[in-house]
Amino acid sequence: MSIADEVRAVLQEVGSAATVRQPNGVVSATDYIDDNSHSEHTNPSVRAFFIDLNIQHPTQVTVGSTVSWGTTELLITSMSPQMFENEVVEYVASGYIVNTRGSFWEPDQEADPDTDDYDSPPEWAELYTGLEIRGTIMDRLYRSAVKAIAKESMDVTVGKLQMYISDYFSLIAMGMQWRSQSGRVYRVEHIEDHNFPGIRAVFLTEETRK
């Protein structure tokens, strides 16, 4: 038995069986993990949103996929292999707790300024049809902490919400809508790459358009 097999056996005994879901919605595997929360961290955003994992090797988990166990789901933002005698024995990963699920919507078509419909509300079409997208929204209270994590532009103003998703969703653009399962609707105001490769930062405001 290899060391990786021994570590996997320990995770099966003391950890949890977790479902691995890729950004395209495919459930790719059930892997064994051990989670480590930050309940005693002095930073409130770290306590509220971050969890570290030990993950078996081999694994289907990648940056941008989500891992769920019990009532918790985590958007993976970073992964590092742990080596012993030139062999990968497990992975250490970090991620944001998923707290929003929904879909992106775009205007179905632009109105012609020469027609009477120019000032009419736009028709909306789902961008990734039928795909339930998972992400993490951090509210205004945590903006100062998040600013050090995301490559935030200076012109991003106070009052926006920050949502983090996989960069698999590369087609999103400013002016689109994020519609959460809870019924809330937000406008996409700004998009940036995250300091963690594979993750995008999407800045949202409450939607006021009809």
CATH number for the domain that contains residue 108: 2.40.10
Which residues contact residue 21 at a Cβ distance below 8 angstroms, ignoring those fewer than 6 apart?
27, 28, 65, 66, 67, 68, 134
The whole domain housing 168 covers 100-206
Is the domain of 107 the same as that of 179? yes
Residue 155 confidence (pLDDT) above 70: no
Residue 128 confidence (pLDDT) above 60: yes
Among 74, 97, 120, residue at a domain's last position: 97
- b/e per residue 35-55 (b: at least 16 CB within 10 A): beebeeeeeebbebbbbebbb
Is the domain of 107 the same as that of 45? no
Residue 163 confidence (pLDDT) above 90: yes
For tokens 């179905």, what's the residue? Answer: 108
Average pLDDT in the chain: 85
d(CA 181, CA 102): 5
Q: Tell me what pLDDT residue 141 has.
A: 40
Percent of the chain at pLDDT > 70 equals 83
Residue 142 confidence (pLDDT) above 80: no
Is the domain of 137 the same as that of 63? no
Is the domain of 86 the same as that of 113? no
Q: Collapsing DSSP states into helix, strand and coil, what is residue 123?
A: coil
Q: For 37-51, 64-78, 95-109, 188-202, which range has the lowest pLDDT when averaged over its residues?
A: 37-51
Q: Tell me what pLDDT residue 40 has.
A: 73
Q: Tell me what pLDDT residue 156 has.
A: 45
Domains identified in the chain, total number: 2
Q: What is the pTM of this model?
A: 0.84
Q: Tell me what pLDDT residue 117 has.
A: 53
Residue 110 confidence (pLDDT) above 70: no
- b/e per residue 161-181 (b: at least 16 CB within 10 A): bbbbbbbbbeebeeebbbbbe
Q: For 52-61, 70-79, 102-111, 172-181, which range has the lowest pLDDT when averaged over its residues?
A: 102-111
Is the domain of 83 the same as that of 158? no
Q: Tell me what pLDDT residue 208 has.
A: 82
Is the domain of 194 the same as that of 141? yes
Is the domain of 110 the same as that of 164? yes
How is residue 92 written in tokens?
């250490």
* Tens of pLDDT, residues 45-96: 777 788 999 999 999 999 999 999 999 999 999 999 999 999 999 999 999 9
Which residues contact residue 129 at a Cβ distance below 8 angstroms, ignoring those fewer than 6 apart?
none
Instruction: Using pLDDT thresholds of 50, 70 and 90, give the confidence band for residue 119.
Output: low
